[in-house]
């Protein structure tokens, strides 16, 4: 029997998934690992943890795959020496230490030129500013760098012995010419970074190497893979992800960057395709935080939240717990609850968190609409999409129905489809999506919630400019 495997190297753990060529999930395995925050705003992981977890998850699956696809948390910096040894813990996508380096990049390249070349502005989570941070703060270590990889590409190196990346993940480094689908010599020169450090950039379904003779697809960053996993291979529905991060992603008919780069413009995991997305740093991550500080399980919190009316009697949550990217590219932004009263209990806090994240997603959707994206329906994935209540809230706040697919496996599912193309099981990504992805159910907006949520979103949008002066500078 033909089996396709997707391996997603996430922030909280690795997920391995085995699929039939019809898209049926045959087996799944997950292995977790820790995240360390040595200083406020810092976020690091040990690349060897990813590798140990990946090996174990692949062994747990217990299958003989025809092809493997990789996906993973984006933007993380893995520095290797000339012997391909890890030089320091990886600096992750949600790390916020590089405010100064972002300013330096925009100064050196020029903001307009940077957006024209890379489709993006310098954001703290992206890879290039992290490299400049290491150069400034750890010069001895910087002098030993010979190779730079992203998280899933480190796992690829250990799996296949090959240093490679895909164009979708490379787009998130800020060193990539997104329109031209190649490394940007101009940006590398302006930042004085050696092109030799970077791996070869392949299209996502291309074979990057082999593991025990099994082809391993280049794969993609987790957001592009999640979009494929819910069937977004061309313009149409938008991908709405409620993972640790929260994302609204639209496939674009051609490369297009927002003139102010308020949303990210990246290559899609489909050869010749592009996408734009808005990214919130703490989506399901905000609910996980509430659970950790207020107690209760995920199910208890959402059940208690369901007892509160939309708008939670004026209680509003700002989800900028780790700074933010979209719509406020601001590492110094912070979260807040406002409008608390004696009546509010833990369920009200949970309701406000679910709603605050939904308002943040609406900010991203509004920016995509300003780019000309016609979003009439969304496809939801990520751990938060398992909650009917959260999806009803998000559908109502966005004002569009949200579809769930038969499999809710997100990025690992998309990665497995890419593995299937690399193995020759499908001729291309479109065929893989058509063969495997089916809609299971649709969550409609609640007409009665509309007024409360338009009002709530207005209240939410007023909070950042009002509260920001009270917080530390970026
Ligand atoms: C996307 C991003 C996050 C991570 C989460 O730009 O930074 O969604 O990829 O793993």
- Report pLDDT digits (tens) over 201-225: 999 999 999 999 999 999 999 999 9
What fold, for 4-223? Nucleotidyltransferase; domain 5 (3.30.420)
pLDDT at 472: 80
Provide mean pLDDT across the span 45-64: 98
pLDDT at 241: 96
pLDDT at 227: 97
11 close to ligand 1 (CB < 6 Angstrom): yes
> Do the domains spanning 4-223 and 231-409+444-474 agree at the CATH topology level?
yes
Q: Residue 234 phi/psi, 5° resolution? A: -150, 170
Domain boundaries, the chain: 4-223, 231-409+444-474
> Distance between CA atoms of 275 and 128, rounded to whole angstroms?
20
Provide the token pair at 6.
């997707």
75 close to ligand 1 (CB < 6 Angstrom): yes
> Distance between CA atoms of 435 and 371, rounded to whole angstroms?
31
Task: Please give the positions annotated as active site.
Answer: 222
Share of the chain above pLDDT 70, in %: 100
Provide mean pLDDT across the span 264-270: 97
pLDDT at 473: 78
CA distances from 426 to 296, 411, 421, 468 (A): 45, 18, 5, 50
The class level of CATH for 231-409+444-474 reads alpha beta
- Return the residue matching tokens 């943040």: 360
Cα(11) to ligand 1 centroid in Å equals: 9
The CA-CA-CA angle for residues 330, 331, 335, to 5°, reads 90
Cα(73) to ligand 1 centroid in Å equals: 5
43 close to ligand 1 (CB < 6 Angstrom): no
Sign for the pseudo-dihedral over CA of 135, 80, 98, 89: negative
Contacts of 13 (CB under 8 A, 6+ apart): 30, 31, 32, 33, 53
- pLDDT category at 45 given cuts 50, 70, 90 is very high
Cα(285) to ligand 1 centroid in Å equals: 12
Provide mean pLDDT across the span 259-270: 96
239 close to ligand 1 (CB < 6 Angstrom): no
Pairing verdict, β 44-45 and 90-91: antiparallel
């Amino acid at each position: 029997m033909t089996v396709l495997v997707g391996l997603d190297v996430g922030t909280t753990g690795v997920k391995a998934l085995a699929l039939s060529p019809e898209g049926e999930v045959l087996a799944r395995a997950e292995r977790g690992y820790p995240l360390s925050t040595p200083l406020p705003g810092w976020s690091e992981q040990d690349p060897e943890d990813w590798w140990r977890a990946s090996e174990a998850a692949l062994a747990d699956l217990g299958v003989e795959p025809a092809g493997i696809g990789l996906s993973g948390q984006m933007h993380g910096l893995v520095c290797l020496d000339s012997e391909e040894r890890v030089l320091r813990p990886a600096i992750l996508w949600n790390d916020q230490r590089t405010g100064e380096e972002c300013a330096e990049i925009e100064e050196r390249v020029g903001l307009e030129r940077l957006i024209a070349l890379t489709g993006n502005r310098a954001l703290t989570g992206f890879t290039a500013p992290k490299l400049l941070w290491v150069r400034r703060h750890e010069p001895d270590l910087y002098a030993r760098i010979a190779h730079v990889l992203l998280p899933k590409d480190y796992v690829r190196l250990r799996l296949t012995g090959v240093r490679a990346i895909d164009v979708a993940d490379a787009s998130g480094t800020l060193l990539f010419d997104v329109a031209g689908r190649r490394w940007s010599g101009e940006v590398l020169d302006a930042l004085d970074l050696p092109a030799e450090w970077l791996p070869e950039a392949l299209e996502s379904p291309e074979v990057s190497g082999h593991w025990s003779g099994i082809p391993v697809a280049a794969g993609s960053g987790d957001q592009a893979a999640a979009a494929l996993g819910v069937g977004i291979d061309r313009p149409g529905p938008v991908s709405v992800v409620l993972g640790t991060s929260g994302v609204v992603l639209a496939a674009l008919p051609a490369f297009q960057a927002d003139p102010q780069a308020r949303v990210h413009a990246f290559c899609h995991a489909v050869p010749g395709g592009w996408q734009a997305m808005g990214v919130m740093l703490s989506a399901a991550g905000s609910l996980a935080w509430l659970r950790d500080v207020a107690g209760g399980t995920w199910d208890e919190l959402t059940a208690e939240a369901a007892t509160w009316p939309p708008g939670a009697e004026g209680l509003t949550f700002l989800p900028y717990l780790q700074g933010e990217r979209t719509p406020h590219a601001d590492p110094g932004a912070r979260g807040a609850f406002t409008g608390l009263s004696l009546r509010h209990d833990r369920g009200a806090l949970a309701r406000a968190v679910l709603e605050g994240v939904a308002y943040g997603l609406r900010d991203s959707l509004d920016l995509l609409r300003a780019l000309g994206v016609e979003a009439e329906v969304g496809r939801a994935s990520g751990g938060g999409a398992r909650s009917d209540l959260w999806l009803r809230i998000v559908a109502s706040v966005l004002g569009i129905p949200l579809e769930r697919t038969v499999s809710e496996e997100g990025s690992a599912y998309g990665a497995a489809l890419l593995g299937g193309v690399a193995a020759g099981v499908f001729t291309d990504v479109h065929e893989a999506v058509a063969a495997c992805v089916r809609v299971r159910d649709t969550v409609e907006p609640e007409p009665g919630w509309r007024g409360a949520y338009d009002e709530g979103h207005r209240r939410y949008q007023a909070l950042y400019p009002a509260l920001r002066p009270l917080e530390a500078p970026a």
